Amino acid sequence: MHQISCWVLTDGKPGMENQCLGLAEALALAPVIKRVRLRSPWRQISPWLRLGKRFAAGPDGDLLAPPWPDLLIATGRHSVVPALSIKQRSRGRTFTVQIQDPVIDPGHFDLVVVPAHDRLRGANVLVTAGALHRVTAEKLGDAAARFGADYAHLPRPRVAVLVGGDNGVYRLTPTIMGDLAERLALMARHTGASLLVTPSRRTGADNEAILRARMRELPSVVWDGTGENPYFAFLGLADAIVVTCDSVSMVSEACATGKPVYLVPLAGGSAKFQVFHEGLIAAGVARPFDGNLDTWQYPPLDDTRQVAAEIRRRLALRQGSP
């Protein structure tokens, strides 16, 4: 396939943007990143309002103007109407890929990619085990090599601990945080493991303080949010991964490593998340975190590359058509 032009279109949320970037990178493309800010009333009722869609993207976001890309990779509710506008204004030349359920008929797009726990299905709907992401063996190896000396003092086994936090479905309470920190401490003492810990912006100052206080007594490092993010390095250097259950993306990234993955329950939940987690456990990919540290193997989740291969196939068919 010859080199094609590509845009990534989102509202700028890192979790959304990374899914699109991961797919573009799997296609060996260097996309132009477009972050949109919708005008009223599209902002409030997108994607159901599709009249006048060429005017939906406001001046506070990036300009959406020709030349239109060969490939558009978009995700998020606010990306749907601008994506449809680009498809229309390019006269269908732009191949439109929408990641996650667009809530409207998937037939509006060339391809829609959804995780298995979503109910959307259709002729142009590609179903994945989890979320798309940027994790590859090459990236993890490179990051581990660059950061390896910084963490060489930490004994093995090394356990990466990925801590999320509150969202629309889950809550990370101080009680849960304290219990998790205690179980991590007991595991480290029992097995001689060290801990590579990365909180997120959703963890919260109080929870992070609880975590840091407990980690001071252990062979551990907790990223303080400064300098280059060692997230990929932690995944690459780890022998096992403990991850809170609140983020499909974070769990999917952990399961792309092929390393043992332990899921930490939080307060709340939803049927969709439950189906996702139960599927990983049933497939032998992940286990609930009970404070033990075991070893097992499974084929790493490779959704992103599989979706990229399908896009290549469909683009090749399109280019070969009259």
Count CB atoms within 10 A of the CB of residue 209.
13
Q: pLDDT tens, 262-275? A: 999 999 999 999 99
CB-based contact 74:17 (threshold 8 Å): no
- Tell me, what amino acid is at 205? A
If you average pLDDT over residues 309-322, what whole number do you get?
85
Structure pTM? 0.91
* Gap between the Cα atoms of 132 and 20, Å rounded: 8
**In contact, 9 and 32? CB cutoff 8 Å:** no
SS3 content of the chain, % helix, strand, coil (to 5): 40, 20, 40
The full set of domains in the chain, from first to last, is 6-129+303-320 (3.40.50), 137-288 (3.40.50.2000)
What proportion of the chain, given as a percentage, has pLDDT over 70?
Answer: 97
Integer Cα distance of 238 and 36 in angstroms: 37
Q: Which residues lie closer than 8 Å to 189 by C-beta, 6 or more apart?
A: 218
With a CB cutoff of 8 Å and minimum separation 6, the contacts of 249 are 15, 18, 19, 130, 131, 133
pLDDT at 68 over 50: yes
Q: Are 261 and 299 in contact (CB under 8 A)?
A: no
Dump pLDDT digits (tens) for 187-226. 999 999 999 999 999 999 999 999 999 999 899 999 998 9
